[in-house]
Structure 1
């Protein structure tokens, strides 16, 4: 296949996955037993599909475009989007890179489990040292107010316990759910992309 056609195809798939991710990002919702400032969405699914189909670099590009497009609607002065981009990029790049070296069903499973573990390991210190302090300094959202939203959990008493009891389980849950959905939808979506391209090429 000519390199130009491959590039055009990748750009088209990137645009489609970005559009899907943006729509899903707006369909966020709170989770039970989680503070209201943490919302869950399925926008990482098309990003991860793109990372598997096109490679980890394209996964990061889709992640970036998704958050840039969502930026005008933010209420967090871009802090939420920056955090989402960094943690999301780590997740999809890790999974996409491993899968690019092991393109099997087993490789896909291991790649997503590895990505979930890396996401949780990175998100905890990142939220502790970067995100939470930025909410306080930029948005003047004091730690006391954040802890007050977590009063449903008696184990949350300070910033460290907040990270361990809120951000750690949240990111583990998110990584696992996204991985499960992607595992079941990737093959049909990948086949559709390839078939659509083949049909277009024949015309």
Structure 2
């Protein structure tokens, strides 16, 4: 396959994965769990990005995150806080997982362990921006955030920050990372093979 066709194939795949991520983010299944704040919703919009990382590499995966970020900006309902938070999270997950891929060449369990750990780190770092961003930029009152916390956490204005990070952000990101990894692990190698086969027939003819 010529270099131009390889570039076109790559751009098409990036476009498809970006569109899938947007569809999953906007109209895909979303649900909250009673033991997390109601604004933390389980969704699978990171799944196409995660698959793109294994199929295409970190630069292309980051490109998917950036494209999704730019497309979502005009439709923001959070004064860009939510969009920036998602971008930070995606970039950290990609960077951490790629580090695991470089350290463990065969993409074994340790690579996915890196993904799990960096997903949690990404959740913490992104929420270090998100929480004050929602309060001071988007204008969400702290009292409203406290009310959205599960009642069993007994959150107050004095303790909700550490309870949010320790008892909500960490387990939430651990859960969603395990869900995405569970889907990606058994299929990423096969998808990579299928992607590499695209255009081979024409190349051999």
1:124 equivalent in structure 2: 124
In structure 1, the partner of 2:95 is: 93
Of 58-67 and 89-98, more deviation after overlay is shown by 89-98
Q: Does 2:84 align with 1:82?
A: yes
2:73 and 2:38 map into 1 onto residues whose CA distance is 20
- 2:159 equivalent to 1:160: no
SS, match of residue 118 in structure 1: helix
Residues 22 and 141 of structure 1, relative CA distance in 2, 3 Å threshold: same
- Worse-matched range after superposition: 180-189 or 44-53: 180-189
Quote the Cα distance in structure 2 between the aligned partners of 1:127 and 1:100.
27
SS, match of residue 184 in structure 1: coil
Other-structure match for 1:37: 39
Structure with the greater relative contact order (CA < 8 A, sep ≥ 6): 1 or 2? 2
Report the counterpart of residue 7 of structure 1 in structure 2.
7
Q: Which residue of the partner structure matches residue 133 of structure 1? A: 132
Cα contact 1:63–1:85 (8 A) shared by 2: yes
Query: 1-side partners of 2:54 and 2:103: how far apart?
Result: 11
Q: Which runs of 4+ in 1 moved over 6 A?
A: none
Name the structure 2 match of 1:147. Answer: 146
Number of aligned residue pairs: 200
What is the alpha-carbon distance in structure 2 between the residues aligned to residue 16 and residue 77 of structure 1?
Answer: 27
Question: Which deviations, in whole Å up to 9, do the C-alpha atoms of 1:64-92 show, x marking residues without a partner?
Answer: 11222223333212111110111111112
Which of 46, 53, 56 aligns to 1:54? It is 56
The alignment's TM-score, normalised by the length of structure 2, stands at: 0.86
Distance in 2, matches of 1:201 and 1:23, equals: 33
User: Which structure 1 residue ranges, 5 or more long, are not aligned?
Assistant: none
Cα deviation code 1:99-126 (max 9, x no counterpart): 25544251xx322211221221243244
Tell whether the 8 Å contact from 1:49 to 1:182 is kept in structure 2 after alignment. Answer: yes
List alignment gaps of at least 5 residues for structure 2.
none
Q: 1:2 Cα shift? A: 4.5
- Shift of residue 159 of structure 1? 0.9
Q: 8 Å contact 1:113–1:176 — kept in the other structure?
A: no
What is the TM-score when the length of structure 1 is the normalising length?
0.87
